[in-house]
Structure 1
Amino acid sequence: MSVAAMPSRQFFSRERSIAAPGFNRWLVPPAALAVHLCIGMAYGFSVFWLPLSRVVGGAEPKACPADMGFFASVFATSCDWKISMLGWTFTLFFVFLGSSAAVFGHWLETAGPRKAGLAASVCWCGGLLISAAGVYLHQIWMLWLGSGVIGGIGLGLGYISPVSTLIKWFPDRRGMATGMAIMGFGGGAMIGAPLADRLMSFYATPGSVGVWQTFVTMAAIYFVFMVGGSLGYRVPREGWKPEGWAPSTTAANKMVTSRHVHLNVAWKTPQFWLLWAVLMLNVSAGIGVLGMASPMLQEVFGGKLIGLDIGFSELDAAQKAKIAAIAAGFTGLLSLCNIGGRLAWATWSDKLGRKTTYAIFFILGIILYSIAPWAAQQGNIVLFVLFFCVILSMYGGGFATIPAYLADIFGTHYVGAIHGRLLTAWSTAGVLGPVLVNYLRDYQLDHGVARDAVYNQTMYILAGLLVLGLVCDLAVRPVAEKLFMTDEEVAAEKKTSVAAVVAEEKEPHADFEDYVEEGQAAEAAAADARRAAAAQNGNSRILLFAAWAAVGIPLAWGVSITLQKTFVLFH
C-alpha cells in the first residue's frame, strides 16, 4: 500500500513519515540538529547554579540552619539552595538519558522518529516549565523532577530519535551523518548558555534573579524548534539507496554487515558489551576533565596565566578573577573541540573504519594523558591546552562514531534501539568520570599535595582507563553468522512480504500480459514521480537553504560568542 493510499493513518505514525520520491536526504540532518541543539542545553545548565543559589538572599546566599535536615531543606522556602544540591539535576540528566534511551529504544523503531521527536519535545520543554514553577515556588524537588527526570527522558528520546533514520538515509556516509546530528548535542550549550545569561539579565529585578522567566521563555523557543525538527523527519521507503551507491562496495570490509541482528539478541552478544565498555571508558576519561576544566587550568598554572611566577594560593582576589576569565576561555575552547571532533572524527571513520578510529582515540589519548603532567611541570600552557583540545575532540568523536560502529556490527534495522541500550554506558561514565577526578583531587589536597600537582595521578589513572578501552576495542569481532536474522524474520518485523526483503523483481507472475501491464504502469508511475520531483526541485532548494539557515545561524552565533571568550586565553 502506498503512502498516498493511507489517509486514515494517523499523522504522527511512522508510515506517514515515509519520504516521497525525490525527497532530498540533506533535509534530515538540519531536522536532527534542530532537536539536538535544544536538548544540548543540558551541558550548559551550570549557568543557572549561581543565580539559583541566591534566590532568597539576593546579593549573598542565605544559608539554611545548620541543624536543618536534608529532607527539610528540600522543601524549605526561607533559605537558599546549595550548589551541590542543584548539581544533582546534572546527574539526573544523564542517568535518565541513558535509562530512557534503553527503555524506549525499541518503541522508537516501531513508532518512528517523528513521534519520538515530538515526545522528546514535550518532555524537555514541559520539564523546563515544571522547573520554572519549582523556582517560583522555591521547591528544588520540582527542579529535579522537571528538568532532571522528565527532561532527562526527553534527552534520551531526542538524542536517539534521528540516529537510525540518518544511518538509513546515509548508508554511504554513516559516520558523517550521525556526526552532524550528534554535533548539535555538544553545541547546544554554546547557544543556550549565553542566551540564558542574556535572558536572566533582561528579566532580573531587585526581587528576582530572572531564572523562572528564563525557563519559560526557553521552553517556548525550544518547543518551536524541536517540533519543527521532529515534523521534518522523514524515513526512506523500503529498498531506497543513494544514487550511484552499491552495497557491494562495503562487502570487502568484514567489520561491516549488510544483515541485521535482533535487539533481543544483540545486547546478549560479547560485541555489545565490548562496545559498551569502549564507550564507557572513552567517555569516563573525557567527561571528568570537561567538568573540571576551569579549576584544573587555574590550579595547575596559577599566576603563570597572567605572567606571574606564583601559585594559585598566592594570588589575590583581583588576580584570581583574571585567571578565571582565562579559564573560561579554556572551557569554551574545549567545547569547540568537543563539537568539531564529533563531526570530524565521525566523518573520518567512514574512511578509516570504526574499529581503527577508536584505536586511534585510545592510543593517542594514552600518550596525551601520560605526558600532560610533563607539559604542566614545564609551564608550557600552549602545549597543555593543545593536548586537551585533542583529547576532548576524541571524547566528542566517540559519541558520534559509536552509532555507526553499532550499525556496522549489528545492521541498521535495530540500530536505534541497540544504541539506546548502549547509552547506559554514558550514564555510568557520567558518574564514574567526575567522581574519579573530583575525589582524587580532594584526597590529594587533604594529604598535602601541592595544587599544581593534584591532577598528575589522575592523568595517569585516566590513561589506564584508556588502556582497558583499547583492549576492548581490539577484541571486537564480527557477529557470528547464526545470530543474524533470516529474511523471513526481517520481513515479519517490517510486516512486509519476504519477496520485498529479498527483491521484488524476483516475484513470479502468473500471466505475462499482467506482467507487461504492471511494468507499463510502474514505468508511468516512475515518470510521473520524476516530473513531480523536477517540479519541486526549486522549492526543495529554497526549503533546504531555509532549514540549514534555521540551525546554522544560531550555531554560528554560539561559536562566535565562544571564540570571543577563547581569545582571552591567548591574549
Structure 2
Amino acid sequence: MATVPQALDLPGGTPGLLDKERTIAAPGYNRWLVPPAALAIHLCIGMAYGFSVFWLPLAKAVGVTAPVACPADMGFFAAIVATQCDWTVTSLGWMYTLFFVFLGSSAATFGGWLEHAGPRKAGFVAAVCWCGGLVISALGIYLHQIWMLWLGSGVIGGIGLGLGYISPVSTLIKWFPDRRGMATGMAIMGFGGGAMIGAPMADKLMRHFATPTSVGVWETFLVMAAVYFVFMTCGAFGYRVPPSGWKPAGWTPPPPKQASMIATRSVHLNQAWKTPQFWLIWGVLCLNVSAGIGVLGMASPMLQEVFGGKLIGVDLGFNDLSAEQKAQIATIAAGFTGLLSLFNIVGRFFWASISDRIGRKVTYAIFFLLGIVLYASAPSLGHAGQIALFVGAFGIILSMYGGGFATVPAYLADMFGTQMVGAIHGRLLTAWSAAGILGPFLMTYIRDVQIAHGVPKAQVYDVTMYILVGLLVLGLVCNLLIRPVDPKYQMTDEELAAEKRKSHEVAASPANAVEASTAASFTPAVLFAWLAVGIPIGWGAWLTLRKALVLF
C-alpha cells in the first residue's frame, strides 16, 4: 500500500495529500480494501434516510414535554426565526426534500470534477459538507433557527450526500471490471444501511442527552458529526485508484461482439447525455425509484390502514380501534418498515451481483415485470387479509428498489465505458431527485383525495397501486428500447488520451499490469477494514430483525 505523506502540499510540484496522483495504488495492492472504504462513507451519509427519528423530538424542542404552538396568524418568515414556539413536523420534513434535491443536483454538477480530482478529494469534501452541515444544524437547534437546519443539513449536507454517493463508483468499477455489479452493490448497499445503524444510534444518544430543559438533539448532532467525520475521512483516505491498464490476475476481457450491450470504448460526459440511451436509463431509474420510494415513505400507515385490527387478531377497521390497540399496531408497522429497509439493503447487493451473470437489461426487465405482478396483486392480498403474503410482496418490491440503485452504475459502465462513468452516474442521479418528488406525491396526494371522497382507509391505496403499475409498464418500455450506443459518440484514441491526462492517470508498469496473486489473498488489513464496517452493519441488522419479529 502506498505510504501516506505528512503534508497537504509539498514544494517542487509534489502532489498534495488529497490529490489523485497520491492515490495511485502500488504494485500488489489488494483491491478488496476499496469496498470497505466506500462503505465507510456510504454508511454515514445513508443516515439521510433515518432523519425522521429527529422530527418528533425537534417538534417539542421549546416545550420539551409537549409542543408549543406558534400563533395561527404568524407569517412564514416570522415562524422560521421565532424562538418561543416549536416547529411543525411538516416544516422539519423539508430537510428530507432538500437532501435528495441537492444530492442529485450536486452529483450532476460536480461529477466531472470528481473524475479529474479523484475519489479521495471528493470523499473528504463530502465529509466536510455532511458533518459540517450537522454542526450548523446543531447550532440552529441550540439557537432555535430552523433556517439553519435547512441550510446546514439540507443544502450543505445534501451537497455532501451527492459527492459522497458518487465518490467510489468509477473507482470500484475500474477495480472490478470482472464484477461491476457486485462491486457497486457492495458500496451502495451502505447507503441503504446508513439509517439502519444511524437511527438507533441517534435514539440512544438523544435519550442519553435529554434533560428537563433539552430534548438532546443538538448534542446528538455534534456527536454524530464527530463520529461520521472520522469514519468518512478514513474511508476517503482508504481509496486507491488502479493504474491505467490494470486488470485482475487471470481475467481476460471478453472479445467484442456485434451489437453487444457492453461497450469497448468510452463516451465523454459531454456526449453521453446527448444519447437516447442516457435518457432511457434516466427514465428506467426514475420510474423504478418513484414506485419504490413512495411505498417506503408510506409503509407504516399503509400497513395499519389496510389491515387495521387484523394485525392483532381483532376484526376491526383502523378507525374503530382504541388508542391502546392503535399503539399496538403502530409497533407492528414499525417492524414492517424496518423489515422493508433490510430488504432494500440486501437487494442492493443481491440484484447487482445477479446482474453480472444475466446482464443489466435482463435484470431491469425482471424488476419491472415482477413489480407489475406484485403491485397489481397488493390490493387483493390486502382485502383478503393475507398479511404474510402482503409483507413478502412488498419486501421483494423494496429489494428491487434498492437493486435498481445498485445496478445502474454498472449499466452505465456497460453502455458508456468506464472512463467517465462516475460523472455520467452523477448526472443520471437527477432522476432520483425527480422520483423523490413524484413517488411520495402520488402516494400521499391520491390517498388524501380518496379519504376526502369517503373511501374506507383499507381501500385508499388500491388506485395508487394500479397507477404505480402504469409507471412500471412505462419503465419496462424504456428498458426494452435500450440499444448499444452509436460509435459516433465514443471518444477517439486522441480524445481518450487527453481525458486520461486531465484525470492524472498513470499507466500500469509491467509489475502492476495485473493483480499479483498474493494481493487476492486474505490479509489482516482486509480483515480489519471489513470488520470496521461489518460490525456496525451487523448491529443494525440485528436491531432491525428483532423489531421485525413482532410481525410474526
TM-score exceeds 0.5: yes
Please state how far the C-alpha of 1:544 moved relative to its aligned partner: 0.6
Measured in 1, the distance between the counterparts of 2:14 and 2:306 equals 65
Is the contact made by 1:247 and 1:258 (CA closer than 8 Å) also made in structure 2? no
What whole-Å deviation, never above 9, does each CA across 1:12-68 have from its counterpart, x for those lacking one?
111110000000000000000000000000000000000000011121111100000
Does 2:134 correspond to 1:152? no
What whole-Å deviation, never above 9, does each CA across 1:81-125 have from its counterpart, x for those lacking one?
000000000000000000000000000000000000000000000
- Which residue of the partner structure matches residue 235 of structure 2? 229
- Which residue of the partner structure matches residue 185 of structure 1? 191
Please state how far the C-alpha of 1:474 moved relative to its aligned partner: 0.3
Alignment of 1:425-444 (within 5 A): 425-444=431-450
Q: Aligned in 2, Cα 1:250/1:312: closer, same or farther, shift over 3 Å?
A: farther
Measured in 2, the distance between the counterparts of 1:213 and 1:171 equals 44
Please state how far the C-alpha of 1:483 moved relative to its aligned partner: 1.2
**TM superposition outliers: structure 1 runs of 4+ over 2 Å:** 2-7, 248-253
Give the AA of the match of 1:411: G
Does 2:539 correspond to 1:557? yes
Does 2:111 correspond to 1:129? no
Q: Aligned in 2, Cα 1:20/1:340: closer, same or farther, shift over 3 Å?
A: same
- Which residue of the partner structure matches residue 43 of structure 1? 49
Q: Aligned in 2, Cα 1:496/1:164: closer, same or farther, shift over 3 Å?
A: closer
Give the AA of the match of 1:331: T
- Which residue of the partner structure matches residue 170 of structure 2? 164
Measured in 2, the distance between the counterparts of 1:253 and 1:154 equals 39
Measured in 2, the distance between the counterparts of 1:62 and 1:253 equals 65
Measured in 2, the distance between the counterparts of 1:378 and 1:21 equals 61
Alignment of 1:274-289 (within 5 A): 274-289=280-295
Q: Aligned in 2, Cα 1:388/1:537: closer, same or farther, shift over 3 Å?
A: closer
- Which residue of the partner structure matches residue 336 of structure 1? 342
Does 2:370 correspond to 1:378? no
Q: Which of 239, 246, 249 in structure 2 is aligned with 1:240?
A: 246
Find the structure with the greater CA-based Rg. 1
Q: Aligned in 2, Cα 1:434/1:562: closer, same or farther, shift over 3 Å?
A: same
Give the AA of the match of 1:493: E
What whole-Å deviation, never above 9, does each CA across 1:280-312 have from its counterpart, x for those lacking one?
000000000000000000000000000000000
Is the contact made by 2:259 and 2:484 (CA closer than 8 Å) also made in structure 1? no
Give the AA of the match of 2:29: F
Measured in 2, the distance between the counterparts of 1:335 and 1:380 equals 21
Q: Which of 445, 460, 465 in structure 2 is aligned with 1:459?
A: 465
Is the contact made by 2:352 and 2:407 (CA closer than 8 Å) also made in structure 1? yes
- Which residue of the partner structure matches residue 514 of structure 1? none
Measured in 2, the distance between the counterparts of 1:112 and 1:258 equals 23
- Which residue of the partner structure matches residue 509 of structure 1? none
Match of 2:523, SS state, is: helix
Match of 2:363, SS state, is: helix
Give the AA of the match of 2:423: A
Does 2:396 correspond to 1:390? yes
Is the contact made by 2:26 and 2:512 (CA closer than 8 Å) also made in structure 1? no
Alignment of 1:115-514 (within 5 A): 115-248=121-254, 251=257, 254-495=260-501
What whole-Å deviation, never above 9, does each CA across 1:497-531 have from its counterpart, x for those lacking one?
9xx98xx9xxxxxxxxxxxxxxxxx88x789x97x
What whole-Å deviation, never above 9, does each CA across 1:212-258 have from its counterpart, x for those lacking one?
00000000000000000000000001110011111125757700012
- Which residue of the partner structure matches residue 507 of structure 1? none
Is the contact made by 1:251 and 1:257 (CA closer than 8 Å) also made in structure 2? no
Measured in 1, the distance between the counterparts of 2:294 and 2:80 equals 27
Q: Which of 92, 99, 110 in structure 2 is aligned with 1:93?
A: 99
Give the AA of the match of 1:372: A
Give the aligned length: 542
Please state how far the C-alpha of 1:319 moved relative to its aligned partner: 0.4
Measured in 2, the distance between the counterparts of 1:202 and 1:482 equals 61
Match of 1:67, SS state, is: coil
- Which residue of the partner structure matches residue 547 of structure 1? 529
Deviates more, 1:540-549 or 1:453-462: 540-549
Match of 1:243, SS state, is: coil
Measured in 1, the distance between the counterparts of 2:526 and 2:296 equals 35
Q: Aligned in 2, Cα 1:435/1:240: closer, same or farther, shift over 3 Å?
A: same
Alignment of 1:53-64 (within 5 A): 53-64=59-70
Q: Aligned in 2, Cα 1:253/1:336: closer, same or farther, shift over 3 Å?
A: farther
Is the contact made by 2:31 and 2:520 (CA closer than 8 Å) also made in structure 1? no
Give the AA of the match of 1:62: V
Q: Aligned in 2, Cα 1:457/1:113: closer, same or farther, shift over 3 Å?
A: same
Is the contact made by 2:343 and 2:396 (CA closer than 8 Å) also made in structure 1? yes
Match of 1:413, SS state, is: coil
Give the AA of the match of 1:559: A
Please state how far the C-alpha of 1:492 moved relative to its aligned partner: 1.1
Unaligned runs of 5+ in 2: none
Give the AA of the match of 1:399: F
Q: Which of 48, 58, 63 in structure 2 is aligned with 1:52?
A: 58
Please state how far the C-alpha of 1:267 moved relative to its aligned partner: 0.4
What whole-Å deviation, never above 9, does each CA across 1:336-368 have from its counterpart, x for those lacking one?
000000000000000110000000000100110
Measured in 1, the distance between the counterparts of 2:205 and 2:17 equals 35
Is the contact made by 2:30 and 2:520 (CA closer than 8 Å) also made in structure 1? no
- Which residue of the partner structure matches residue 110 of structure 1? 116
What whole-Å deviation, never above 9, does each CA across 1:416-435 have from its counterpart, x for those lacking one?
00000000000000000001
Is the contact made by 2:129 and 2:159 (CA closer than 8 Å) also made in structure 1? yes
Measured in 1, the distance between the counterparts of 2:474 and 2:233 equals 41
Measured in 1, the distance between the counterparts of 2:290 and 2:390 equals 20
Measured in 2, the distance between the counterparts of 1:97 and 1:31 equals 20
Please state how far the C-alpha of 1:71 moved relative to its aligned partner: 1.2
Please state how far the C-alpha of 1:135 moved relative to its aligned partner: 0.4
- Which residue of the partner structure matches residue 88 of structure 2? 82
